[in-house]
Amino acid sequence: MEWYAPPSVRQEPPARQNPSALTRKLGQFMALSPCAVAALEALQVASREVPARTELVVQGRAHRHLSVLVRGAAIRYKLLPDGRRQIINFVVPGDFIGLHGCVFATASNSVMTLQKTVVAPFSCKAIVEIGQRSPMLAGIIFWLSSLEQTMLSERLVTLGRCSAYERLAYLFCELLERLQWAGLADERSFTFPLSQELLADALGLSTVHVNRTLTRLRRDGLVIIEGRTVTLPDPQALAMIANLEEGHLARCRPAAAALTQPPSPRSESAE
Chain residues binding a copy of itself by CB under 8 A are 60, 63, 78, 80-82, 84-86, 88, 99-106, 108-109, 124-125, 128, 131-133, 135, 138-139, 142-143, 145-146, 148-150, 152-157, 159-162, 201, 203-204, 243, 245, 248, 251-259, 261, 264-266
Nearest to 198 by CA among 116, 85, 111: 85
Binding window for DNA (CB under 7 A); candidates: 26-34, 72-80, 193-201, 257-265: 193-201
Q: How far is the CB of 20 from a copy of itself (least distance, A)?
A: 21
User: Which residue type sits at 270?
Assistant: A
Q: Pick from DNA, a copy of itself, none: which does 212 bind, CB < 5 to 8 A by kind?
A: DNA
Q: How far is the CB of 124 from a copy of itself (least distance, A)?
A: 5
Determine phi and psi for 198, rounding to 5 degrees: -65, -45
User: Which residue type sits at 152?
Assistant: L
Q: How far is the CB of 226 from a copy of itself (least distance, A)?
A: 28
16 touching DNA, by CB under 7 A: no
Q: Are 107 and 60 in contact (CB under 8 A)?
A: yes
What is the C-alpha to C-alpha distance for residues 59 and 166, in angstroms, rounded to an integer?
30
Helices 207-219, 196-203: axis angle to 10 degrees equals: 100
Nearest to 97 by CA among 158, 24, 52, 44: 44
211 touching DNA, by CB under 7 A: yes
What is the C-alpha to C-alpha distance for residues 118 and 160, in angstroms, rounded to an integer?
34
Of the candidates 150, 165, 231, 258, which one interacts with DNA according to CB under 7 A? Answer: 165
Cβ distance to DNA smaller for residue 144 or 175: 175
Cβ distance to a copy of itself smaller for residue 208 or 255: 255
Q: Pick from a copy of itself, DNA, none: which does 213 bind, CB < 5 to 8 A by kind?
A: DNA
- CA angle, residues 72, 259, 41, in degrees to nearest 5: 35
What is the C-alpha to C-alpha distance for residues 102 and 50, in angstroms, rounded to an integer?
22
Q: How far is the CB of 160 from a copy of itself (least distance, A)?
A: 3
Computed over its alpha carbons, how large is the radius of gyration of the chain? Answer: 19
Binding site for DNA (CB under 7 A): 163-165, 194-197, 204-209, 211-215, 227
